[in-house]
Amino acid sequence: MQGRKLFVGNLSHCVTAAEETEQLRQLFSNYGDVQQVNILNGKRYGFVQMSSPSEAEKAKKELNDYPFNGCLLRVNEVRPSRRKSGFRRH
């Protein structure tokens, strides 16, 4: 794994983003230093940034399909987006 940022999907719709942010921080901190947790309002997914790629890999391995607030988490590495060049063919 190259990155430190993880996509966390299939979050519960029954818990507020603020509550779930703190709960995710606590859960992921079992696998390393959590630098940031961001859950998008009105969405059932968010992002967790760990302090190192090895911590992110460990968290991904242990927490993918983990039961959390009545749902099975989906945890994947966030890969850098491929930037499009400014050149367009016609």
Q: What is the DSSP letter of 30?
A: G
Domain count, the chain: 1
58, containing H or E segment: helix 53-63
In tens digits, the chain (90 residues) has pLDDT values of: 688 999 999 998 877 778 889 999 999 999 999 999 999 878 899 999 999 999 999 999 999 999 999 999 999 999 877 665 555 555
User: Which residue in 62, 71, 66, 52 sits closest to 12, CA to CA?
Assistant: 71
Q: Give the pLDDT confidence score for residue 16 in this predicted structure.
A: 77
pLDDT of residue 2: 80
Q: Is position 51 within any domain?
A: yes
Q: Is residue 56 one of the residues assigned to a domain?
A: yes
pLDDT for the residue numbered 13: 80
- The CATH number for 30's domain is 3.30.70.330
Q: What pLDDT was estimated at residue 78?
A: 94
For the whole model, what pTM was predicted? 0.84
Domain extent for 50: 5-77
